[in-house]
Structure 1
Amino acid sequence: MKSYKIYLFLILANLFWAGNYVFGKSVVAELSPIQMTFSRWLIAVCVLFPIAQLVEKPDWRKVWSEWRILIVMAVLGVAGYNFLLYEALRFTTSMNAALVNAMNPALIVLGAALLFKEKLTRTRVIGLLVSLFGVLLVLTKGRLQMIAQTDYNAGDLLMLAAIVVWTLYSLLGRKIRHLPPIASTAVSAVLALLIISPFFLASGMKLPLSREATAGILYIGLFPSVGSFIFWNASIREIGASRAGIYLNLITVFTAILSLLLGNPVTLVQIMGGLLVFTGVYLTGRRQGS
């Protein structure tokens, strides 16, 4: 895969995930975490299989033969991360969740270095630190002392568990490089639905949903669940989890941009922070051996 396509995929993946934070707000009030997780992946599965068949024409028997690792991927990235994220947002603020999430790229880089001996170059470390500083500027609007003043709670521990789960999911992604990314994502989603369906059926979901919640869950089911997962899984197979992980900081920048488009103010300091994030992403993505 050409390098520019990989970076475009990573940018789009995080743009769609940013929309998850913005448009998912209307869903949280009407659906529980387990209901949100099940609903989004039920929608996604209906789209993933036709796309996989049309684009990849996979050998489905070969894909299903890897069900053991795909179940692990399903538990971690498809079901586990999403449930922990939505559950965390019941107890903590989006600000706290975003601050904890800012640790994710560093965690992926360290995990890749320890488990897969991916080279941790000076340039990559500098890019990671620059990007992290930019994220903190965006989140705190330049008032970095807020990080120490923020009260952390059980929701933040759940968010920490969520990023650990996502780190493991991302690192394991390279173990299935021989499988087509769309087909493997589709099978993982089906396995996740089978695992969480008893909990969903016992949750007592109330219908119909409001127009806003319906639009929100359709967006989450199509763009973050289908688009982001396909783009993310395809990318980490090509460049590794540590180089792809730094792009997760773009979620914060894209969330701020989407908020601006929806009429919420964005400060000059946040714009500067966004530029630092892009600078850090650029440094980390460069093929250097320094």
Structure 2
Amino acid sequence: MTTSSLPTRRAPWGVHLKLLGMAVLWGASWPTGKVVAQALPAFTASSLRFALAFGLLLGWLWAVHGRSTCRALSSRQWAGLALGGALGVFGYAAFFLLGLQHVPAGRAALVVTTNPVLTTLLAAWWFGERFNRRIGLGMALAVLGASVVLTHGAPWTLVTGGVGVGECLLLGCVLCWSGYTLVGKRLLGGIDALTTTTVTAGVGLLLLLLVALAVEGGTAFAAVRDASLGVWLALVFLAAGATVLAYAWYFEGVKALGAGAAAAYISLVPVFGVLFATWGLGEAVDASLVLGGGLVLTGMVVMNRARR
């Protein structure tokens, strides 16, 4: 074995470890978000998170591409970025923290993991993307698992008004992220992932700030002033860890292993979400969470394998 071959043989393990770290960071974002949601108004907390993240992303963007990267964007691409920021940042972040004010973090993490189900269904309908019986089976398992988690083991109550406000808000997360993904496919072709994430974060931040000032006002500023060190550390983690660092590791994995292999690691996010919520927040793990979570994870694995 030559010396030059060593980095090539070791590199994949490093990529896999980073993707595992990404899943850990995204899983930890749910109990961490719960801490923030209980201490600060939702829109103000989201504004602080994305203000920190946007600053880091902007520095990263300039270091990689310089200041000329946004000048080459067309008006269509700017419109797509604005819509993506409204859905994927503003909408998702708002529903994320509003939902966590009503639902335990571990349960919320499992529900939102069904994002790929709606996205796959809409992409097959609108764009003619691949869809087969195995993908349909995976979707059915994931939806059944999510309904078990949502209703605490009584999925039939979905048609009898048994779902609360928090669960409905979490479904808003799913709708916003699916919309963001589909907008990206239709309008954001030719824009690199770092530019897309940075600009959409800036658009979402502006909307979050406007709504925070209009809806939460002076009360929100008082809550921020009185926030504990633990809350600020949670915000820094959400911005630097769960947003910027996890994003960097994810796209490094996409580049090295391909989108399908990298996306498969997302199936681990709810596992870590439940573990951290149980360990850090003392949330109970009941039978419906275990059963529903198992069905969701099985469905995600079936869908990913069927695509490949």
Q: TM-score, normalization: structure 1? A: 0.76
Tell whether the 8 Å contact from 1:40 to 1:225 is kept in structure 2 after alignment: no
More divergent stretch after superposition (247-256 vs 185-194): 247-256
| Larger CA Rg, structure 1 vs 2 | 2
Counterpart mapping for 1:54-203 below 5 A = 54-55=63-64, 59-63=69-73, 66-92=77-103, 94=105, 97=108, 101=112, 103-132=114-143, 139=149, 144-145=153-154, 148=157, 151-174=162-185, 175-202=187-214, 203=217
Quote the residue 2:235 is aligned against: 217
RMSD over aligned CA atoms reads 4.1
Query: What amino acid does structure 2 have at the position aligned with 1:20?
Result: S
Deviations 1:25-83, CA, capped at 9 Å, x for gaps: 22112211110111010000111122223345572312485321111011001111111
In structure 1, C-alpha distance between the alignment counterparts of 2:70 and 2:13, rounded to whole Å: 29
Q: State how far apart, in whole Å, the 1-side matches of 2:143 and 2:268 are.
A: 10
Distance 1:13 1:64 in 2: 32
Would you say how many aligned residue pairs link Structure 1 and Structure 2? 283
TM-score between both structures, scaled by the size of structure 2: 0.72
More helix by share: 2
- For the residue of structure 2 that corresponds to 1:152, the secondary structure is coil
Q: Point out the more displaced range, 111-120 or 193-202.
A: 193-202
Q: Deviations over 1:164-199 (max 9, x none)?
A: 121101112223241111122111111222233233
Identity, % of aligned positions: 24
1:32 aligned residue (41, 47, 57) = 41
- Tell me which amino acid in the other structure corresponds to 1:221: A
Letter in 1 for 2:54: V
Paired AA for residue 281 in structure 1: M
Q: Does 1:286 align with 2:305?
A: yes
Q: Deviations over 1:248-283 (max 9, x none)?
A: 654322212223554767689977876665554343
Ranges in structure 2 where 5+ consecutive residues have no aligned partner:
1-11
Q: Does the alignment pair 1:259 with 2:268? A: no
Aligned equivalent of 2:55, options 28, 43, 46: 46
Does the C-alpha gap of structure 1 residues 129 and 248 become closer, same or farther in structure 2, counting only changes over 3 Å?
farther
Structure 1: unaligned runs, 5 residues or longer:
none
2:30 is equivalent to residue 21 of structure 1: yes
